[in-house]
Amino acid sequence: MIRVLLADDQSLVRAGFKALLDAQPDIEVAGEAADGEEAVRKVGELRPDVVLMDIRMPLLDGLAATRRITGDGDLKDVKVVMLTTFELDEYVFEAIRSGASGFLVKDTEPDELLRAVRAVVDGDALLSPGVTRRLIAEFAARSKEPATDDALSQLTEREREVMALVGIGLSNEEIARRLVVSPLTAKTHVSRTMVKLGARDRAQLVVLAYESGLVRPGWLG
Tens digit of pLDDT for each residue in 150-165?
A: 668 888 999 999 998 8
Give residue-wise pLDDT tens across range 83-129. 877 655 566 667 777 778 877 878 888 888 888 888 888 766 555 44
For range 164-173, the mean pLDDT: 82
Of the candidates 37, 39, 36, 28, which has an alpha carbon nearest to the alpha carbon of residue 4? 28
Give the model confidence (pLDDT) of 37-67 as tens digits: 999 999 999 999 999 999 888 889 888 999 8
What are the pLDDT digits (tens) for 184-207? 999 899 989 988 888 877 777 877
